Structure formats: structure tokens, C-alpha cells
Amino acid sequence: MTVLDMAVLDDAAFQLLKADVDAWVRGPGEDFANQIEATGIVPPELFLDLKAHGFLGLAAPERLGGKDIPFSRYLELMEIFSRSHASIRMLVHVINGTWRAMDEFATEAQRDQIVRPSVAGDVLVAFTLTEATAGTGADIRTTVRREGDTYYLSGEKQLITFGVKCDYWLLLARLEGSTGQDGTVALLVPNAGLPGAEVIDDSETMGVRGTDHAILHFDNTPVPVANRLGEEGQGLTIMLGGFLLPSRVSVAMSCVGLAERAQELAVEYANRRETFGKKIADRQAIQFYLAENYADIAAARALVIHAAKAFEEGAADAGVLSSASKMIAVDMLTRVTDKALQVHGGSGYWKRNPIERVYRDARAQRFEEGTNEIQKLIVGRAVVTGAVTN
């Protein structure tokens, strides 16, 4: 029995699993990272390798074919994956999370056709919420019109990760004429050349190279009512509570992992680089940068683990802590990567140095799963209404 075959991991087995993930990240993962940066494409072999190692079904329950690793412990693995290339982290993060949105509201037929194959790595589901002309919540404008057993979908989505190559879009829309949360529906829309569906590849990004992103246009695209998750009016609950709440904590931990990689690169460079016959690691200014980074990372990591355990326990403040952890971790990552690049001096600005890629990739978390401005609104409202206290 391998470590990943165990239904319940004791601590010793989990440490072996962490070591296995770390070895993969530093070995094959780094080779894939270099290939992605050189070509701008995630090779199919990467997906197959992640699947073969069981890395795509870490967090899902056994009944869905997953490894049933508790969320807070899974995040320790996400921390390690996030030290790798951003597209590798994105694959592991999304596939280990979308099942949460689907499972509670899926029919058994939907579980067999989509949810379980997603956990197995046989079906790719893209979370499809963001729009160009609206926010990412109750103000969405994409609509459906129901005629018998068919919805007719019209509207636009953008910045949809894996939206080009996915098998299904897990998509939020609203019934024509509805407002707010009422009338929102979550649909599993097959990416199969449906009438009226247009997929535009929008993958040329600053960082996170290789991950495909899509702009989607729908014009009276037919979607069977049987492809709806849950009931009409539950769409926003499915998308926000089912996916975004834990996903924000996962993104926060990805900030921690990437910051740790930036710090590691800065320390290595500082111990190698000499000026005026002295390693820059011995210079007080550099030590101050590294000390501030160490404290910043440790503080953010503690809050992320606290938020993860609150989600596990179903705590009343889990949602607020989710936003708070992402807010703090994102700002931490900005500071740490900036100082790590500064330690490298001008050399860090060149693509031949890994810190350049880390610096570019770090910018994406500032808006992934909701901007920091949105997180501050969520936390601020909870504080002023007395919903949370310190």
C-alpha cells in the first residue's frame, strides 16, 4: 500500500507524502516549469504525471475517488506545490477544489458523469463566474431563458481559467428578469461546440504562463435543465460557498508557498553573491530584508492555517477568515517577492534567474478569487456589524 492509498494518514505517513510532493516539485516539476516557460504551453504529459501521482484527488472524499485528506493538511501540500510553476499550482488547486461546489448539489448521475471523473483527472471543469461588465456575484448579467427541459444561455464570461481546454464550464447565470441572488442558477455546460457558444483563447498573460484562459460568448446556447446543479435560486450559494470560500484559503496558502520560494532564492543568492570581497548575506541591509520576509511569511501562514481549520469545523466566522487570510497573504507575497528581487539586484530582472518568474507569477494572486478590495469589504462589513470580534 502506498502513502496515497491510505484512507487516513497518520502523521508519519503524511510527512512521507509531503516529502514525495517536495521531491516531485524540485525534480519533474522544475523540468515541466522550464518547458512551460520556454513554450508557453502546459504539456499534456504534465497533467498525466500529476494524475499518475494521485495529486489531483488529494482533498476529495473517498466516495468520490479521492484521498480524503483534511483541508488544513491538504493546504500543507498546496504550500509545497505553490513553490513550483504557477500553472502547476493552478492545476492542482482548481481540480482539488471544484468538486466542493458540485458534490453537495449534484444528482447521482452528475456525480458519475462529471464529479467523480473530475476527481480522477479524466474530466476538467472550469469555474465560470467572472464577467467583463459586472462583478463576480449577485450582479451578474449572463442569463438563461427556460423553455421546457432546456435553458437558452446568453451572455459573456471572461478570465476563465482552463476555459479553452476544459470539458465543462461550471457556470453561473440568472433567469431572465431576476435580480440579486434570486433566480441565479449553476449549470454544468459542456464545452462541446454547442450552438451559439464561442470560445476565445485569451491566454497571453504577464505570468502564470501555460494556463489557458478564455473569453466566452453565448447566444441562445441550449443547455439541458438536467445539467443544472441544485435548484433555481441556489446558483450563487453553490458558486460562492461551495468553491470560493475554501478556494480563497487555498489561494492564500499558495501565496505562502510562493513567498517561501522567493525567500529561498533570495537566501541562496545572498550566500553566493559577493561585493567588495564580502558575501551580501553578511550585510545588515540584506539581513533586514530576509528577517522581514521570514516574519511576514510566518505570520501569514499562521492565519491561513487558522482559516483552514475554521472552514473544517464549520465555524461561523469561516467566511470572514477566508477573506482575511487571502487579504493578508496577498499583501505579504507582494512585499516578500519585491524584497527577494531587490536582494538579487539587477540580475533578478533577467529571465535567466528564477526570481523573475516568481515575481511575475506573484501578481496574479492579487485578483484571483476576488480582489483584495473585495476581501476588505467582506471583512470590514463583518467587523462594523459585530458579526466578528477579535
Predicted confidence (pLDDT) per residue in 68-96, tens digit = 999 999 999 999 999 999 999 999 999 99
Contact (CB, 8 A) for 355 and 344: yes
Contact (CB, 8 A) for 114 and 188: yes
Q: Does residue 4 have a pLDDT over 60?
A: no
Per the domain annotation, does 63 fall within a domain? yes
Q: Does residue 8 have a pLDDT over 80?
A: no
Question: Identity (one letter) of the amino acid at 146?
Answer: R
> In which band, very low, low, confident or very high, does the pLDDT at 136 lie, cut at 50, 70 and 90?
low
CATH (domain of 360):
1.20.140.10
Mean pLDDT of 318-331: 96
Per the domain annotation, does 183 fall within a domain? yes
Per the domain annotation, does 162 fall within a domain? yes
148 and 66 co-located in one domain: no
Per the domain annotation, does 267 fall within a domain? yes
Active-site residue among 76, 131, 156, 369?
369
369 is catalytic: yes
Q: State the Cα–Cα distance between residues 324 and 328, nearest whole angstrom.
A: 6
153 and 283 co-located in one domain: no
Looking at every residue in the chain, the average pLDDT score rounds to 92
Q: What percent of the chain has pLDDT over 70?
A: 97
Question: Identity (one letter) of the amino acid at 361?
Answer: D
What's residue 9's pLDDT? 60
Per the domain annotation, does 214 fall within a domain? yes
Pull the grid cell for residue 384.
462594523
151 and 165 co-located in one domain: yes
Q: Does residue 1 have a pLDDT over 50?
A: no
pLDDT in tens, 14-58: 999 999 999 999 999 999 999 999 998 999 999 999 999 999 999
Q: Helix crossing, 71-81 with 86-95: angle to 10°?
A: 160
> In which band, very low, low, confident or very high, does the pLDDT at 203 lie, cut at 50, 70 and 90?
confident
272 and 345 co-located in one domain: yes
Mean pLDDT of 146-172: 95
pLDDT in tens, 236-295: 999 887 778 899 999 999 999 999 999 999 999 999 999 999 999 999 999 999 999 999
pLDDT in tens, 103-133: 999 999 999 999 999 999 999 999 999 998 8
Domain that residue 282 falls in: 237-384
Query: Contacts for 37-44 with beta carbons within 8 Å, 24 or more apart?
Result: 37/85, 37/209, 37/210, 37/351, 37/357, 39/210, 40/203, 40/209, 40/210, 41/210, 42/87, 42/91, 42/210, 42/211, 42/212
371 and 255 co-located in one domain: yes
Per the domain annotation, does 2 fall within a domain? no
Only one residue has cell 505517513, namely: 13
Mean pLDDT of 145-150: 96
What's residue 369's pLDDT? 83
CATH (domain of 23):
1.10.540.10
- Cα-to-chain-centroid distance, residue 240: 14
Per the domain annotation, does 3 fall within a domain? no
247 and 372 co-located in one domain: yes
pLDDT in tens, 341-380: 999 999 999 989 999 999 999 998 888 888 889 899 999 9
379 and 242 co-located in one domain: yes
Contact (CB, 8 A) for 50 and 91: yes
* 173 or 365, which is more confident: 173
